[in-house]
Structure 1
Amino acid sequence: MNGAKKIVLAEDNSMLSKLLKFKLEKEGYSLFIADNGKKTIELIEEHNPELILTDIMMPFVSGLEVISHVRNKLNLLTPIVVFSAAGQEQIVLKAFDLGATDFMSKPLSPNELVLRVKRLLS
C-alpha cells in the first residue's frame, strides 16, 4: 500500500458499492468491500481501516451489530458512517446510540459522501 487511507465499505447493493469504490479510489483512498455484515467485521479486523462506511440493512450481521462490534468488542474509535433508507428514524437513533459518527439517508449522493469522507479523514 502506498499509505492511502483505508476504508471498509459495507454495502449489499453491488451497483452502489462499485460506484462508491470508483469515486473514493479516484480520491486516493484504498477500499475494502463487504456485501454482508460478517465479512465487514472480518475486513475491519484484518485491515484496521481509518473509516468504516456501512449500510444498516445487510445479510447475516446488520450495520448496527457492526457498530456495536467495533465499539464494544474491538474498542476502536474509528469513524463510522451509516447509510439507511429514509424513514427509519428509530434505527438511525440506535446507530448513534451505538457509536455511529455520521449518517446518510439512501438514496445517497456519491459526491456528498466523498465530501463527508474527506472531512472525517482530513
Structure 2
Amino acid sequence: MATKKIILAEDNSTLSMLLKFRLEKEGYHLLSAVNGQQALELIETEKPDLIITDIMMPFVSGLEVISHVRLKLDSDTPIIVFSSAGQEEMVLKAFSLGANDFMGKPFSPNELMIRVNRLIN
C-alpha cells in the first residue's frame, strides 16, 4: 500500500518536528511548510492525502489555505486545523470554509493520530 502523504503547515518548528516524528513513526510521509504560502505550493505539487494547518501563520493564513483547497483546487482532501485557545470565531470560519476537524493547542499528539487515522484510513 502506498504511503499516505500529509502536508503540515505550522510556523512553530518545535511542534512541527514533534508532529513529523510522530506521524512518520506511524508510517505517514510528512511534508512540512513553515507558512501558508509554502503549504499551498506543496499542496499543488504533492496532492496530499491530508492537510494539517495552523490557523495563524505568516503570509497566508490557515483559513486562506482551506479556502484555496476547497474553491480554487476544488479538492475534498481532508483538512485538520489547529489554533490557540480563544479563537472560536476563527474555528467557526475554518469549518464554514470546509475544514474537517479542529484541535485546540496545546494538543496531544496521540489524539492527533486518532483524528488523522480516522480521516485517511
Matches within 5 A, 1:70-109: 70-109=69-108
SS in 1 for 2:31: strand
Matches within 5 A, 1:39-78: 39-78=38-77
Distance 1:114 1:20 in 2: 9
Question: After the TM superposition, which segments of 4 or more aligned residues of structure 1 sit over 6 Å from their partners?
Answer: none
Distance 1:60 1:109 in 2: 27
Instruction: Tell me the equivalent position of 2:114.
Output: 115
Aligned residues: 121
Distance 1:89 1:16 in 2: 21
Q: Which amino acid aligns with 1:35?
A: V
Q: Which amino acid aligns with 1:89?
A: E
What's the RMSD between the two structures over aligned residues? Answer: 0.8
Q: Which amino acid aligns with 2:23?
A: L
Instruction: Tell me the equivalent position of 1:29.
Output: 28
Distance 1:47 1:13 in 2: 22
**TM-score by structure 2 length?**
0.98
How far residue 87 of structure 1 moved from its aligned partner, in angstroms, is 1.1
Distance 2:89 2:114 in 1: 26
Aligned sequence identity (%): 69
SS in 2 for 1:3: coil
**TM-score by structure 1 length?**
0.97
How far residue 11 of structure 1 moved from its aligned partner, in angstroms, is 0.4
Q: Output one character per residue of 1:67-87: Cα deviation in whole Å (capped at 9) or x when no partner.
A: 000000000000000000111
1:20 aligns to 2:19 (yes or no): yes
SS in 2 for 1:8: strand
How far residue 41 of structure 1 moved from its aligned partner, in angstroms, is 0.1
